[in-house]
């Protein structure tokens, strides 16, 4: 099958069948890293698919297969170089990248019986538990402090030759517009774009751009950040707004958000409350837009109701001036 035929076929598969095909691909690429898997277990099957790898000698890894990501060799090289640099920064905890036996930061293999080639990256295992919404408030302040360290480091870090991160383009990250042409969506887009126009006056730097609670571990009592797949060139305010989006489910979540922003020192970045809320709301646009084009079966099933949820949340934001994720709660 050609790449496009394989993608179309994959999108029609059940979740079980998709994961089975990706497990075959995972077993094909792991030897390139010098790893023989005793056991593979799916940790996450969504935008991309991540496996826990149990290998000989009680070694554990996390293997991410880039299914829906816009990955290129230059982008993967940039992710690798940045994570390796951050591992040397005091106050920052990230997993260690595992390079292939040939020294490359990723491996590549075709999806079974097709020309569709997928890339995979391997990281050391972070022991512990996801921070979620149950950790003490102090941990979210610690997360903010670590994000601030990352932002300071990124401002001075020079990307190596051959590495390149995508510049953040617009409120839906440069993806084609797939959403219905509804006034609520267009107005949120325009408000966020005006804020981005202001941010573009400042030099862009690498940002994680996916600091949600499922990318944060409590590892031996300390916060650690992983999954740099969405890393791009942007601004600290944009990075922070992504985290804020997820801490809008309840009053208790807002306490966690406040602690995160306090640790980050966001007040020093200079956006008004109205401008910041527009960035938070724009995350809803990006997620709903992605659901309509995603290849993963679970997300495709959820797409239509999620877009309606997104519309209701955007409408509430436009009426109230505050983005509230508990409105029409559906994910």
Query: Is the distance from CB of 115 to CB of 59 less than 8 angstroms?
Result: no
First to last CA, the chain: 35
Together in a domain, 177 and 273: yes
54 burial (CB, 10 Å; 0-12 / 13-18 / 19+) is: middle
109 with 183, same domain: the answer is no
The 10s digit of each residue's pLDDT in 154-195 is 999 999 999 999 999 999 999 999 999 999 999 999 999 999
**Judgement on whether residues 142 and 121 belong to the same structural domain of the protein:** no
DSSP structure string for 30-66:
GGGGT--EEEEEEEEESSSEEEEEEEGGG-EEEEEEE
- 325 falls within a domain: no
- In-domain check, residue 62: yes
Q: What is the mean pLDDT of the chain?
A: 93
Using an 8 Å Cβ cutoff, are 214 and 181 in contact? no
Q: Within a domain: residue 330?
A: no
pLDDT digits (tens, 9 = 90+) for 249-259: 888 888 999 99
- In the predicted structure, residue 331 carries a pLDDT above the cut 50: no
Asked if residue 40 belongs to a domain, the reply is yes
Q: What is the DSSP letter of 269?
A: G
Note whether 156 and 250 are same-domain residues.
Answer: yes
| pLDDT classification of 329: cutoffs 50, 70, 90 | low
Q: How far apart are CA 8 and CA 6, in angstroms?
A: 5
pLDDT one-digit tens code per residue, 207-246: 999 999 999 999 888 999 999 999 999 999 999 999 999 9
Same domain? For 158 and 109 the reply is: no
289 and 201 in a single domain? The answer is yes
Q: Is residue 262 part of a domain?
A: yes
Q: Are 211 and 242 in contact (CB under 8 A)?
A: yes
Describe the chain by its helix, strand, coil percentages, rounded to 5: 50, 15, 35
User: Taking a C-beta distance cutoff of 8 angstroms, is the pair 128, 258 a contact?
Assistant: no
CATH number at residue 65: 3.30.200.20
> Is 83 in the same domain as 161?
no
Q: Is residue 173 part of a domain?
A: yes
- Report pLDDT for 330: 45
What's the pLDDT at 99? 97
204 and 149 in one domain? yes
CB 279 within 8 Å of CB 195: yes
Residue 192: give the domain boundaries.
136-320
Q: Smallest Cα–Cα separation from 263: which of 249, 282, 250, 244? A: 244
| Cα(46)–Cα(207) distance, integer angstroms | 21
Q: pLDDT tens-digit profile of 17-57?
A: 999 999 999 999 999 999 999 999 999 998 899 999 999 88
Together in a domain, 37 and 173: no
Domain count across the chain: 2
CA 234 to chain CA mean position, Å: 14
- Determine the pLDDT at residue 219: 87
Mean pLDDT of 293-318: 93
220 C-beta neighbours (distance < 10 Å), count: 10
For residue 67, give the 3-state DSSP assignment: coil
Which CATH number is 216's domain given?
3.90.1200.10
Q: Are both 153 and 261 inside the same structural domain?
A: yes
**Are β-strands 97-98 and 117-124 bridged in parallel, bridged antiparallel, or unpaired?**
antiparallel
Of 129, 146, 169, the position where a domain reaches its end is 129
pLDDT recorded at residue 268: 53
- Among 129, 151, 173, give the residue marking a domain's end: 129
Cβ-count burial 145-183 (b if 16+ within 10 Å, e if not): bbbbbbbebbeebebeeebebbebeebbbeeeeebeeee
Cα separation, 79 vs 174, in Å, equals 19
Q: Which of 109, 129, 149 is the last residue of a domain?
A: 129
Examine residue 240 and state whether it is found in any structural domain, yes or no.
yes
Q: Are 216 and 97 part of one and the same domain?
A: no
Q: What are phi and psi of 206, to 5 degrees?
A: -60, 135
Considering the domain boundaries, does residue 244 fall inside one? Answer: yes
Long-range contacts made by residues 307-311, C-beta under 8 angstroms, separation at least 24? 307/179, 307/180, 310/179, 310/185, 310/284, 310/285, 311/182, 311/184, 311/185
Same domain, 36 and 96: yes
Task: Please state the φ and ψ torsions of residue 32, each to the nearest 5 degrees.
Answer: -65, -25
């Amino acid at each position: 099958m050609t790449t496009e035929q394989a993608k179309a076929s994959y999108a029609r598969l059940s979740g079980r069948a998709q994961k089975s095909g990706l497990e075959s691909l995972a077993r094909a690429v792991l030897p390139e890293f010098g790893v023989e898997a005793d056991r593979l277990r799916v940790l996450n099957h969504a935008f991309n698919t991540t496996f826990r790898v149990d290998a000989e000698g009680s070694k554990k890894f996390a293997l991410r297969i880039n299914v829906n990501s816009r990955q290129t060799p230059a982008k993967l090289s940039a992710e690798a170089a940045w994570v390796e640099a951050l591992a040397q920064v005091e106050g920052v905890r990230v997993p260690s990248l595992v390079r292939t036996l040939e020294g490359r930061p990723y491996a590549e293999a075709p999806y079974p019986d097709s020309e569709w080639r997928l890339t995979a990256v391997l990281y050391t295992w972070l022991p512990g538990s996801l921070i979620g919404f149950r950790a003490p408030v102090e941990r979210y302040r610690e997360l903010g402090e670590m994000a601030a360290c990352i932002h300071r480091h990124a401002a001075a870090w020079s990307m190596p030759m051959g590495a390149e991160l995508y510049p953040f383009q617009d409120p839906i990250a440069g993806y084609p517009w797939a959403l219905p042409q509804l006034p609520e969506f267009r107005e949120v887009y325009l408000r966020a774009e005006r804020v981005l126009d202001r941010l573009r006056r400042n030099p862009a730097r690498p940002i994680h751009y996916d600091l949600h609670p499922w990318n944060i571990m409590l590892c031996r009592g300390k916060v650690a950040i992983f999954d740099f797949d969405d890393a791009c060139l942007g601004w600290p305010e944009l990075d922070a707004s992504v985290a804020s989006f997820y801490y809008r489910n309840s009053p208790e979540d807002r306490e966690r958000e406040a602690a995160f922003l306090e640790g980050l020192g966001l007040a020093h970045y200079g956006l008004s409350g109205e401008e910041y809320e527009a960035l938070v709301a724009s995350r809803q646009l990006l997620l709903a837009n992605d659901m309509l084009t995603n290849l993963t079966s679970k997300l495709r099933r959820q797409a239509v109701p999620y877009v309606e949820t997104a519309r209701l949340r955007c409408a509430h934001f436009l009426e109230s001036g505050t983005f509230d994720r508990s409105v029409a709660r559906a994910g």
